[in-house]
Amino acid sequence: MELFFLFYRGLSLSEKDYGIVDKLKNTIYRFEGGMSMTRQKNIVYNVLLNETRDQVLMVKNIGPSYSYYTLPGGTVEAGETLPEAAVREAKEETGYDVAVGEMLHVSEAFFPQVDEHCLFFFFQSEIRGGELGTIFPDEIEEISWVSISDAVQFMNLSKEYEQILTTQQTIPYVFNGQITH
């Protein structure tokens, strides 16, 4: 059996001891000081504006302690591109078929309570079909159109997000396919 090794600050940890390969199949891990692991997650969000472009579609998630609003989206699964994940998440959470457009914004945050480092990718998206509804009624209690200013407040985002969502100024996104070295 071939062993894989992770070297970090001179510390060598074998696959046998930590099951690193299995964990890397779905999630990237980063060792901090050779002691704890922080899981990195990529999260995609669909920014779906109404016809008058003054409201955004949001989902109200049922959390362990309280419910909270987010844009339709979620974790990128192994083997998915960011746009593919955005299409899947929109369908699962809202029932809508969407066309994913340009990227609007990238941000990141640490969630120490669950030992996660998340990268957030916001995409312009457009509803192309489907019917409003979720396949996760135990996880999503409401799907609704919300003013952009309320959406920013509900998600506890800084005021600059209101401008990002309103102006729809995009940033480049390029999928480079599979690269072999």
Residue-range domain boundaries for the chain:
5-34, 40-167
pLDDT for the residue numbered 165:
86
pLDDT for the residue numbered 24:
37
pLDDT for the residue numbered 43:
98
pLDDT for the residue numbered 5:
33
| Tokens linked to 76 | 């990128």
Give the separation between CA 139 and CA 115, rounded to whole angstroms: 22
What CATH architecture is 40-167?
Answer: Alpha-Beta Complex (3.90)
Count of residues in the chain: 181
pLDDT for the residue numbered 21:
36
Tens digit of pLDDT at every position of the chain (181 positions): 333 333 333 334 444 344 433 333 333 444 444 445 689 999 999 999 999 999 999 999 999 899 999 999 999 999 999 999 999 999 999 999 999 999 999 999 999 989 999 999 999 999 999 999 999 999 999 999 999 999 999 988 888 888 888 888 899 888 888 888 8
Contacts of 111 (CB under 8 A, 6+ apart): 117, 118
Give the separation between CA 4 and CA 7, rounded to whole angstroms: 10
Rg (CA), the chain: 19
* Cα dihedral value 132, 150, 71, 50, nearest 10: 50
The reported pTM is 0.76
